[in-house]
Amino acid sequence: MKASAFVYPWDVNGDPAAGEFIAGLGVRQATLASAYHSTRALTPRHPGHRIVTAEHAAVLYAPEEARWAGRRLRPYTAGAWAPGDAYGQAAEALADAGLEVHTWVVLAHNSRLGAEFPDTSVVNAYGDRYPWAPCVARPETREYLVDLAVEAAVRPGARGTELESLGWYGIAHLHAHDKTGGVGLGDAGQYLMSLCFCGTCREGYGAQGLDADELAAVVRAALEPLWRGAPDDGGWAAVEKILGEPTATATRAWRDGIARTLQEAAVTAVRAAAPEGFQVLLHADPVTHHVGANPGVDPAHILSVADGVVVPCAGGPDLLAPFAAQGREDAVLAANLPVVSGMGGSPGTLVADAARAAELGATELRLYHAGLASDGDLEAVREALADLG
């Protein structure tokens, strides 16, 4: 199977050996970040630094002024961690090493946007705003995200793109110094705490026959036992039990429709701007009510829209099966396997993990993350990819 490694521009720029090193792992593709959220990243092999702090979400190239002039919402440029056209510089080095380069675009995950424009953020049932999570129902936000997808995806020389967080984001964030793990929120709690009650969503619930104030009160009451330590039974059945099946279905109808139309609009716009043969994949979860970097999608729908999906497999490859069940022989089903042992990855079991993923329908592999992994982890990757042929 074709394998690709995720890479940041700062893993490559300033390190003349980086391109050949990554190609030497046995991957054929590099999935290179062109728009990314804030992060603090280790660079264990770079000759010039060991820690990179990306202070805010940014595009890692110079945005087109004509596209964004006069608009309230526009992408932020990076600081010293990725100056100028950092993406383009890294992409050239990777291509010179013989790698096919695809863009990696993070969309609905932007803490600086929410801090500067609070009205863009998801608002939970308690009235708390999530500045990291733009509400994808808001028309201005949707327009911004579609245009960002086009600009960040279709970079010079790129052969394709992988669009991350193209859908609902919620309470989960991986925020700096995060202190939200004291109460275990399972699947149902995550959904309830991720329901948005901004003005746009309140109107949307109304169109589904729901009173937004009553819905928020029901959600708060449903969450109260969890704050006291009651177990979260998890799953959509638990949400239906808590909210009642008609109410739960109505919230899902509003949110699923918003996510589907955003995904359709973004993929259509990217394809219109891209050269022929440009591949468009979405990071996706087959459970439509899930939120986050791999937002929930309907497998049949998304494979009729995009060229395929990148599926999180940190907990095993089972999420691949619903996509494979669609029988789309032309679709890319990429299993995203973590290979950084210090972050819970298992490079030593990559051969077995890849084989199991293939059994469940995977056609390609994604390896997270070539820049973050230790030399030992990457030697295990190199050996595994050689064994896989």
Q: How far apart are the C-alpha atoms of 110 and 96, rounded to whole Å?
A: 32
Burial of 170 (0-12, 13-18, 19+ CB in 10 A): buried
Closest CA to 54 of 233, 153, 176, 178: 176
Domains of the chain with CATH codes: 2-178+258-388 (3.20.20.80)
Q: Which amino acid is at 178?
A: D
Parallel, antiparallel or unpaired: strands 121-123 and 279-283: unpaired
CA 170 to chain centre: 12
Packing angle of the helix pair 212-227, 235-243 (nearest 10 deg): 120
Q: Which amino acid is at 174?
A: L
**Which residue has tokens 């590099």?**
30
Closest CA to 336 of 317, 306, 309, 313: 313
Model-level pTM? 0.97
Could you give the C-alpha distances from 332 to 166, 282, 295, 361, in angstroms and in order?
A: 17, 10, 17, 9
Phi-psi region of 165 (alpha: psi -120 to 50; beta: other; left: phi over 0): left
Q: Give the ranges where the chain is alpha helix by DSSP (H).
A: 9-12, 18-23, 65-68, 86-96, 111-116, 139-153, 187-194, 199-207, 212-227, 235-243, 245-273, 299-305, 321-324, 350-359, 375-388
pLDDT (tens, 9 = 90+) of the chain, 389 residues, equals 999 999 999 999 999 999 999 999 999 999 999 999 999 999 999 999 999 999 999 999 999 999 999 999 999 999 999 999 999 999 999 999 999 999 999 999 999 999 999 999 999 999 999 999 999 999 999 999 999 999 999 999 999 999 999 999 999 887 676 766 777 789 999 999 999 999 999 999 999 999 999 999 999 999 999 899 888 877 899 999 999 999 999 999 999 999 999 999 999 999 999 999 999 999 999 999 999 999 999 999 999 999 999 999 999 999 999 999 999 999 999 999 999 999 999 999 999 999 999 999 999 999 999 999 999 999 999 999 999 98
